[in-house]
Structure 1
Amino acid sequence: MTFQITVQPSGHRFECETDETVLSAAIRSGIGLPYGCKNGACGSCKGKVVEGQVTHKAHQQRALSEQEAADGFSLFCCALASSDLVIEAREVSGSTEYPVRKMPSRVAKLDKVAPDVIIMSLQLPANEALAYRAGQYVEFLLKDGKRRSYSMANAPSSLDSPLTLHVRHMPGGLFTDHVFNTMKERDILRFEGPHGTFFLREESDKPIVLLASGTGFAPVKALVEHLIHLKSSRHVSLYWGGRRPHDLYMNELCEQWAMILPNFRYVPVVSDPLPEDRWSGRTGFVHAAVLQDLPDLSGHQVYACGSPIVVDSARRDYVALGKLPAEEFFADAFTSEADLAQS
């Protein structure tokens, strides 16, 4: 059976099969609903069901609370239509500009830049390129239909260079154990992409806050490189947080940006430094450091990427407390299999 979905306020319509999620049907139809993880963990695809009924596949309660569900909100990445629907969602212009493709790639280089971080460089087939927006991600296609998502860490303006991804080791992880223990250069990997609506809103001239934790720096790096490519004059503040100084594995690059780029500021934050680290910089929670420096975010855009707890805390403290308009908060929460296993 096929249901008709109508999006407000745009009036766009698309068809949805009973066995596909509302988000999957929208992507297939070229409708730019916002989304991140596609598995019910991050909440980026949350919208309202104005008319009709949906049922939800498994998802995390922090992404959609019982009260939100009772109020008519839905996670469209997990929502199966039970009737024709009228939904309310903020569409993302340009999110469907580049087609999603399945491509082979060859591992060109594995560079261990921290005890638990490898920068993986992928070489695409000759005369092939992946068109994407800085900040988007690809999904590696593994055995048994499993997928693992990683953001591109270089801007699309460098399409003649290998695609780079930042991989953090999750002990026991199906993919990251392979990357850290058995993967070799010249191995072949297949991926699908680009995915996601975490990318620069170029129509705005508002000052930007880039908030990254851990390997959430990867898409943020791509955003900075894209801003450099655009010769943008927008003011940019990059806050990058880690538990120990070595978690800021490209700290020198960020310091170089701060030295050579006008209107660019870099604030590294370490939450749990040890005495032997001899850390003399900012400490505490990285999202809190932003408010210490910028208590009024009303005129800014915030791009937050990294662990769910950092993204959720930023959303709560910036948006829910009225310091930042909700429509100016853009996020990509890096969810692991352990995150998905939580109720």
Structure 2
Amino acid sequence: MTYQVTVQPSGHTFQAQPNETLLEAGLRQGVALPYGCRGGMCGACAATVLSGQVHYPSGDPQGLSADDAQRGKAFLCMAAALSDVEINAPQVGATPDIEVKTLPVRVETMRKLADDVMELTLKLPASERLRFLAGQYVDILLKDGKRRGFSLANAPFDDQLLALHIRHVPGGQFTGQVFSTMQPKALLRIEGPLGSFYIRDSAHPLILIGGGTGFAPLKSMLEQMMQHGLERPVHLYWGARAKADLYLDDLVKSWVAEYPLLTYVPVLSEPLTADGWQGRTGWVHEAVASDFADLAGYDVYLSGPPPMVNAAKVAFLAQGLPDAQLFYDSFEYSPDTVQAMQAGQA
């Protein structure tokens, strides 16, 4: 027995076996469904179930909030069909045909942007270029078969080197290596571009919200838009713990001085006394909610840790933001990194 899955609005169809995830079934049959971590954490694969029934053979996804479930959202990386199913996944068929490649890269430069944030620039082979959309990410392929995803911080027009902003995670296998033993000229393998986080064509003003290194894909988006000239208002909110965590604050301020349509609101959750901070404090999504009582006329892009993204989604939808105008990239630790952190490993 198989079930037919219909994807709207593209009209794509594919067949799913019982207990086969909809993501696996779709990718197996050439349907480019969105995905990220494949572990039910990041929410990149979320789609709305329009009709039919799905279930989660391996258990409910940890990243699926009660609010999302009530609105009919399902995580395709873990959901299996119990009947013929119709889903709404606007990303399918909307992304330009961009080839996903596996490539060797060499670490060209390493620059500390903050005590716990490293910028790696990666050089591709001379005969290769990685075509991507601003906001997408690449996976670093580790020797043990594991992978780590990082957003591209450079714009597609500036692709001679690929830039990543990597935060040091206690217990993190790869980030620990970056901050301890990695040197320029180190060789890595990447796969990409991946993800469905990119700017859509629209006449709406934009609200971009980054938490920590969630600024990286927003930087790529902004630089690409500025390259072509900002044609609609863009409101950038960057949430961080302390002032030092706004690791490219001066760069953003230089953009604001050059582009009148760009506004910038940094928000600190735990400013230090030594910061002498006179700006906004608290949670970054609350600052946005305070500034925009009605979000119906905006496109909102969220990038950062899952607690920020989940809280923002609930708040913004309650303030009139249509679901179709909300896009997000939820940064999630790998399962083995989470286990290491919980075990207190350094």
Tell whether the structures are fold-level matches, with TM greater than 0.5.
yes
Matches within 5 A, 1:290-309: 290-309=288-307
Structure 1 residue aligned with 2:267 = 269
Cα distance between partner residues in 2 of 1:173 and 1:340? 8
| SS of equivalent to 1:310 | helix
Structure 2 residue aligned with 1:283 = 281
Cα distance between partner residues in 2 of 1:268 and 1:221? 14
Matched, 1:50 2:29: no
CA offsets, 1:119-141, max 9 Å, x none? 01000001201111100111111
Report the alpha carbon displacement of residue 310 of structure 1 after superposing the two structures with TM.
1.0
8 Å CA contact 2:167–2:213 kept in 1: the answer is: yes
Moved more, 12-21 or 95-104: 12-21
8 Å CA contact 1:303–1:330 kept in 2: the answer is: yes
8 Å CA contact 1:53–1:85 kept in 2: the answer is: no
Structure 2 residue aligned with 1:180 = 179
Cα distance between partner residues in 2 of 1:240 and 1:4? 42
- Aligned AA for 2:51? V
CA offsets, 1:37-85, max 9 Å, x none? 332113342331733554443554441549938x96531011245x663
Structure 1 residue aligned with 2:344 = none
In the alignment of these two chains, the number of paired residues is: 337
**Which of residues 236, 257, 263 is equivalent to 1:259?**
257
Matches within 5 A, 1:54-133: 54-58=55-59, 60-65=61-66, 68=69, 73-81=73-81, 85-92=84-91, 93-95=93-95, 97-133=97-133
8 Å CA contact 1:134–1:199 kept in 2: the answer is: yes
**Which of residues 309, 323, 340 is equivalent to 2:320?**
323
- Aligned AA for 1:333? S
| SS of equivalent to 2:40 | coil
Q: 1:52 to 1:90 in 2, by over 3 A?
A: same
Report the alpha carbon displacement of residue 210 of structure 1 after superposing the two structures with TM.
0.5
Cα distance between partner residues in 2 of 1:32 and 1:126? 29
CA offsets, 1:206-265, max 9 Å, x none? 100000010000000001011112223110010001000011000001000100012000
Report the alpha carbon displacement of residue 205 of structure 1 after superposing the two structures with TM.
1.4
Moved more, 143-152 or 207-216: 143-152
Report the alpha carbon displacement of residue 299 of structure 1 after superposing the two structures with TM.
0.5
8 Å CA contact 2:206–2:232 kept in 1: the answer is: yes
Moved more, 248-257 or 268-277: 268-277
| SS of equivalent to 2:215 | helix
Q: 1:151 to 1:18 in 2, by over 3 A?
A: farther
Structure 2 residue aligned with 1:190 = 189
Q: 1:315 to 1:169 in 2, by over 3 A?
A: same
Q: Percent identity?
A: 42
Cα distance between partner residues in 1 of 2:72 and 2:231? 41
8 Å CA contact 2:106–2:187 kept in 1: the answer is: yes
CA offsets, 1:183-221, max 9 Å, x none? 1111111111111110000x2011000000100000000
- Aligned AA for 1:227? M
Moved more, 262-271 or 47-56: 47-56
Structure 2 residue aligned with 1:223 = 221
Report the alpha carbon displacement of residue 29 of structure 1 after superposing the two structures with TM.
4.2
Structure 2 residue aligned with 1:142 = 142
Q: 1:55 to 1:271 in 2, by over 3 A?
A: closer
- Superposition RMSD on alpha carbons, in Å? 2.5
8 Å CA contact 2:204–2:232 kept in 1: the answer is: yes
Q: TM-score, normalised by structure 2?
A: 0.89
- Aligned AA for 1:248? L
Cα distance between partner residues in 2 of 1:113 and 1:299? 35
Cα distance between partner residues in 1 of 2:221 and 2:321? 20
